[in-house]
A and B are shown apart, each in its own frame.
Chain A
Amino acid sequence: MALCQRPRSLDRTHPLCLLPRPMLRLALKMLYGDRAKYGMLICGLAFCALLMTQQSSVFLGLLRWTTATIRNVNVPIWVADRKVEQANEIVPMRDIEVSRVRSVEGVEWAVPLFWSILQARLSDGSFQAVQLTGLDSASLVGRPARMTAGKIEDLRLPGAVVIDQVGVEKFRKKGIKIEIGSVFEINDQEARVVGLCETERSFLGQPYVFTTYERALEYAPPQRQQLSFVLVQPRPGVDPQTVVARIDALGNVRAHTDAEFRDRTFWWYFKNTGIPISFGTVVVLGIIVGIAIAGQTFYLFVHENIRFMAALKAMGARTGTLAGMVFLQAFAVGLAGYGLGLGLATLFGNAVLKGGEPPFFMPWEVPVFAGAVILLICCLSALIGLVKIIRAEPAVVFR
């Protein structure tokens, strides 16, 4: 019979390959063929990745909202009272601080900024809190980046304000349509809308209303000191940090670069609110659920295949080959679950970003963190499975 002739292609001297590529293909086929377990593994890991990325992004989005004013105004250096710890806290300064800052060497220009939360009275008699932002009338430094209607220069007209999309939306919900020419009151004084703009939504949730610095002081209840911030541009070629140090040396005030001020605000909310704990709990729960579901299901998958793995071992499969197969299976399922979870979180993010709420900010660190956790879960699951395979005697196939 033809079978009795040894085929030419066989060569007993061929060294045993540690991780034959076709075995890896078969390992994947083994995984994909067990659809129920594969589906369950993917669901568990996807759920874990979704929870981690979505909750982390909402958390970071929420904290990002706390620095919205800094990004909306967008200047290199902020100067505030020394007691101010973060951007949403105001300790009014004397107006003379603007002149003092202007006198610092390396300062190109310095302008005042008023920022405060005031009540706007709508035409139907209801009230709406607004973040009144008073810009330097000459330069309009701190103006919104994008006007959707009207011109920012019209702020110089009497009683003129520019309101953002949050205000338009909030007023609309109260049945009041805001457009150019609409009128409402701030502290019993008329505010006429001359423009609509888009801003980054803030942590406090109230709409931004822009006007000139002088008019903002008229709207605001009178106080002895009313200057909220001094906005500074360093001279070209001068290091902002040098300017910051020189301004700090003035004594009463403290200067921050915009990045420092954002970080300071971010960490203030991080340390002084319960936000990290509540979101952190959900993220940790996601990790635990991921480990529990994925780890357990993968262990079951390996457990059910232990007989076949032992058969492969008996047939000459090295431990390295079996380890490669198990790790490949774990990583394949991890990649699929991670991709699905990340995709769902991204879809969620796209959907909410259109609506503006809830906050969502996914910097590259979030997917990397989630990927690392999923990788860890896969490694743990694969290791547990592998230990079982290594401990299994090949002789088990005869039992």
Chain B
Amino acid sequence: MNDPENAPSELAIRALGVRKTFGSGDSAVPALKGVDLEARFGEMLMIVGPSGCGKTTLLSVICGTMRYDAGSVEVFGRDLHSMSEAKITAFRGQNVGFIFQQFNLIPQWNAVENASVPLLLQGRSRGVAEKEAQRLLTAVGLGDRIRSYPTQLSGGQQQRVAISRALVHEPRLIICDEPTASLDAATGLTVMKLLKEVACRPDRCVIVVTHDSRIFSFADRIAEMEDGLVKAVHRGGDFHMQYV
């Protein structure tokens, strides 16, 4: 289901009739029941809804970490379903940046090493990767903590490292899974401001899955999910006011 009022930008992602069921037979649990959704370049799209409505499954399908059963998902015009596992992995490595709820920073690596990983996976030299990572860490306010290990950083600082890691390889799609869930209210808002500031730009699409109503105002559009379907797509400001 798409919002016709907000369709000026180029389409980044198009999901049509996406279905995904976990398990089989009597124990089958349908997670997505024919989802239609579009995301455009230059926008921050939030996917919201109650627990178990299929938000994370939809996110996994969109970024190619999970195969779907039926329908189609086109990311930057490419049909993920038709791609081999190796090609999807390579596609993700070049086009997708991830920000996780639990940060998923490797504890034995310092901030700059964690942030440089996507570039290293692309085969870039350590020097080039760390230089880029350092530039981003400085941009998110961690210029003086680049050699700090995750355990030496606060939750907010760790999420900033994660943001740097998500952006370092210049992906066109940023996937954020509950980016503020592990943070207190103030830190969550700061992180979202930063994310909006550094991640959103005309050639990039940012998709955020969240429960956190305090950050709805950052969205350009909000897709409301319920029971495996996109119930409605709202403009961010409208939905925030409505919700408040």
Contact residues, A8-43 vs B (CB, 8 A): 9-10, 12, 14-17, 20-23, 25-26, 29-34
In the complex, whether B244 has a CB less than 8 A from a CB of chain A is no
In the complex, whether A316 has a CB less than 8 A from a CB of chain B is yes
Are A16 and B93 in contact, CB atoms less than 8 angstroms apart? yes
Min C-beta distance of B38 to chain A, whole Å: 21
Known contacts being A7-B170, A395-B65, is A1 close to B93, with CB within 8 Å? no
**Which residue of the partner chain B has the closest CB to A396?**
B65
**Which residue of the partner chain A has the closest CB to B108?**
A33
In the complex, whether A307 has a CB less than 8 A from a CB of chain B is yes
| 10 nearest CB pairs, A to B | A316-B93, A33-B108, A17-B123, A394-B65, A311-B104, A395-B60, A22-B126, A395-B65, A395-B66, A22-B120
Are A1 and B120 in contact, CB atoms less than 8 angstroms apart? no
In the complex, whether B177 has a CB less than 8 A from a CB of chain A is yes
Q: B198's contact among A1, A12, A17, by CB below 8 Å, is which? A: A1
In the complex, whether A317 has a CB less than 8 A from a CB of chain B is yes
In the complex, whether B86 has a CB less than 8 A from a CB of chain A is yes
Give the interface centre of B117, B118, B165, B170 by most chain A CB atoms within 10 Å: B117
B residues less than 8 Å from A22 (CB atoms): 116, 120, 125-126, 129
**Which residue of the partner chain A has the closest CB to B86?**
A318
Min C-beta distance of B8 to chain A, whole Å: 20
B residues less than 8 Å from A1 (CB atoms): 139, 197-198
Interface residues of A (CB under 8 A from B): 1-4, 6-7, 9-10, 12, 14-17, 20-23, 25-26, 29-34, 305, 307-308, 311-318, 321, 393-395, 397-399
Q: Is the interface of A mostly helix, strand, loop or mixed?
A: helix
Q: 15 other contacts beyond A21-B126, A316-B92, with CB at 8 A cut-off?
A: A1-B197, A2-B135, A3-B139, A7-B135, A9-B128, A20-B120, A20-B122, A22-B126, A25-B126, A32-B108, A305-B106, A311-B104, A315-B92, A315-B98, A397-B100
Give the interface centre of A20, A22, A308 by most chain B CB atoms within 10 Å: A22
Residue contacts A-B, CB under 8 angstroms, 11 given: A2-B135, A3-B198, A22-B120, A25-B126, A33-B109, A34-B108, A315-B96, A317-B121, A318-B90, A395-B65, A398-B101
Bound-state CA distance A293–B129 (Å) is 37
Contact residues, B186-242 vs A (CB, 8 A): 197-198, 201
A residues less than 8 Å from B98 (CB atoms): 311, 314-315, 397
Contact residues, B82-133 vs A (CB, 8 A): 86, 89-90, 92-94, 96, 98, 100-102, 104, 106-109, 113, 116-126, 128-129, 131-132
Give the interface centre of A15, A312, A395, A398 by most chain B CB atoms within 10 Å: A398
Are B122 and A316 in contact, CB atoms less than 8 angstroms apart? yes
Q: Tally B residues with Cβ within 8 Å of A.
A: 49
Contact residues, B136-154 vs A (CB, 8 A): 136, 139
A residues less than 8 Å from B119 (CB atoms): 10
Q: B121's contact among A31, A34, A321, by CB below 8 Å, is which? A: A321
In the complex, whether B37 has a CB less than 8 A from a CB of chain A is no
Bound-state CA distance A4–B131 (Å) is 16
A residues less than 8 Å from B128 (CB atoms): 9
Are A316 and B121 in contact, CB atoms less than 8 angstroms apart? yes
Known contacts being A308-B104, A314-B63, A315-B98, is A26 close to B170, with CB within 8 Å? no
In the complex, whether B169 has a CB less than 8 A from a CB of chain A is yes
